Amino acid sequence: MWFFCFRVPVILLIISLLNFTFQGRGPLDDFSYLDLPVDYMDLFKLYDPFGGDHLNIFAAGIKAADRLLTVSHGYAWELKTAEGGWGLHGIINESDWKFQGIVNGIDTTDWNPRCDIHLKSDGYTNYSLETVQAGKQQCKAALQKELGLPVRGDVPVIAFIGRLDHQKGVALIAEAMPWIAGLDVQLIMLGTGRQDLEDTLRRLESQHYDRVRGWVGFSIRLAHRMTAGADILLMPSRFEPCGLNQLYAMMYGTVPVVHAVGGLRDTVEHFNPYEESGIGWTFEKAEANRLIDALVHCLNKYRYYRTSWEGLQKRGMMQDLSWDNAAKLYEEVLLAAKYQW
């Protein structure tokens, strides 16, 4: 008698959840376009107290997945709340056993001040942990010259780089602008998106041309140069699954000031003056006065406590922000899912 053993491959469905504002919602009648058996309808059906039953592709993926991942521990926690779950918090909480947050890494060959190709011309320079002070001063001067700002090494340069929409908190910067305009600082903003927010960047530059630049559009080269030449990166996002610009900034010795949400809370340790620890400043509510308070402390440190400031820069640059750590955690998730069967 012969016995034949067949190893049936197990197909695992592992979904990484990023931005819950985009869920693939639609009327239930749209199910017919998916060309699936009618038995699958319950996976896609979700009740909304405002719109009733509707089709939700995100909900179906969450229910069907063997493992759920998102891009930070903080965002994983927020998605379980009514405020952060965008109507899917109930399903997320039911799936808590298979849900995990893993912070993103960055490409440290592309984003690396030692070898950044965008810093090899026009007066910019590559630099390292050992040469960060001289390197950033040279990059700051080159950035100021390129954008037509007064070339001053003593003035703090604040940068914002991001998509112009409600999420990224651009309106908070605009609300804080009367206070910022009264300071001896330079503010450089780069981004594209909503027409009204693009107009806000143009208006702020026009009103404060001696100290503000609003570049509407997107330039990879300028993003790299701003990250190298700025002293401070501002990220007032109302919510942020992970965020990458704060990671790029720390890699370049640029100190982040961020709203403490999602991945920003996970990756930017608030400065502790008593222990000389931390790598930036965080603020707890998406309000202009909270942003201003964080900037007050940051600018005070920049101007009057240079040794402490340089410690902030070096601690940021000394971190391992590569994908290596995240890759190990992803591998653990895959193995756990595989052997659950």
What are the tens digits of pLDDT across the range 74-87?
999 999 999 888 88
Task: Report the largest interatomic distance among the alpha carbons of the chain, rounded to a whole angstrom.
Answer: 91
Whether residue 122 is found in the same domain as residue 97: no
Please give the residue range of the domain that contains residue 135: 117-317
Amino acid 8: pLDDT: 37
Work out the angle between the directed axes of helices 220-229 and 132-147 (0-180°, nearest 10): 130
Percentage of residues in the chain with pLDDT exceeding 70? 96
Whether residue 230 is found in the same domain as residue 307: yes
User: Residues in the chain, how many?
Assistant: 341
Residue 4 lies in a domain: no
Instruction: Encode burial over 209-240: b for 16+ CB neighbours within 10 A, e otherwise.
Output: eebbbbbbeeeeebbbbbbbbbbbbbbbbbbb
Amino acid 4: pLDDT: 36
Whether residue 296 is found in the same domain as residue 207: yes
Give the residue-averaged pLDDT of 36-44: 91
User: 3-state class of 142 per DSSP?
Assistant: helix
Tell me the torsion sign for CA atoms 110, 112, 115, 121. Answer: positive
Give the residue-averaged pLDDT of 280-288: 97
Give the residue-averaged pLDDT of 149-159: 98
Amino acid 2: pLDDT: 38
For the residues of 42-108, what is the DSSP string, one character each? Answer: HHHEEEETTTEEEEEHHHHHHHH-SEEEES-HHHHHHTTSTTTSTT-HHHHHHTGGGEEE------T
Residue 110 lies in a domain: no
Residue 331 lies in a domain: no
Whether residue 40 is found in the same domain as residue 121: no
**Is the distance from CB of 191 to CB of 173 less than 8 angstroms?**
no
CA distances from 40 to 96, 226, 247 (A): 22, 49, 41
Residue 322 lies in a domain: no
What confidence category does residue 17 fall into, taking pLDDT thresholds of 50, 70 and 90?
confident
**Is the distance from CB of 246 to CB of 264 less than 8 angstroms?**
yes
- Domain count within the chain: 2
Q: What is the pLDDT of residues 163-181, one digit of tens each?
A: 999 999 999 999 999 999 9
Whether residue 75 is found in the same domain as residue 34: yes
Q: Where is the domain boundary, 75, 101, 127?
A: 101
Q: Flag the least confident range among 100-104, 112-116, 221-225.
A: 100-104
> Of 263, 323, 327, 239, which Cα lies nearest the Cα of 72?
263
pLDDT at 11 over 80: no
> Of 111, 108, 16, 105, which Cα lies nearest the Cα of 325?
105
Whether residue 177 is found in the same domain as residue 42: no
Whether residue 135 is found in the same domain as residue 225: yes
What confidence category does residue 52 fall into, taking pLDDT thresholds of 50, 70 and 90?
confident
The tokens for 79 are 């998605």
pLDDT at 35 over 60: yes
Amino acid 6: pLDDT: 36
Whether residue 51 is found in the same domain as residue 149: no
Amino acid 10: pLDDT: 55
Whether residue 86 is found in the same domain as residue 149: no
**What's this model's pTM, rounded to 2 decimal places?**
0.91
The tokens for 55 are 């089709």
Q: Say which residue, 146 or 24, is predicted with more confidence.
A: 146
Q: What is the pLDDT of residues 297-325, one digit of tens each?
A: 999 999 999 999 999 999 999 999 999 98
Amino acid 66: pLDDT: 86
Whether residue 131 is found in the same domain as residue 58: no
Looking at residue 297, the DSSP 8-state letter turns out to be H
CATH number at residue 286: 3.40.50.2000
Whether residue 146 is found in the same domain as residue 282: yes
Residue 6 lies in a domain: no
pLDDT at 1 over 60: no
Phi-psi category of residue 136: left, alpha or beta, with phi > 0 → left and psi -120 to 50 → alpha: alpha
Whether residue 192 is found in the same domain as residue 286: yes
Q: Where is the domain boundary, 101, 132, 166?
A: 101
Give the residue-averaged pLDDT of 254-264: 97
Residue 26 host element (H or E): strand 25-26
Residue 55 lies in a domain: yes
Q: What is the pLDDT of residues 55-67, one digit of tens each?
A: 998 889 888 888 8
Q: Where is the domain boundary, 71, 101, 131?
A: 101
Residue 218 lies in a domain: yes
Looking only at the bridges linking them, the beta strands covering 281-283 and 212-216 are unpaired
Residue 67 forms beta bridges with which residues? 14
Dist CA 332 CA 336 (whole Å): 6
Amino acid 166: pLDDT: 93
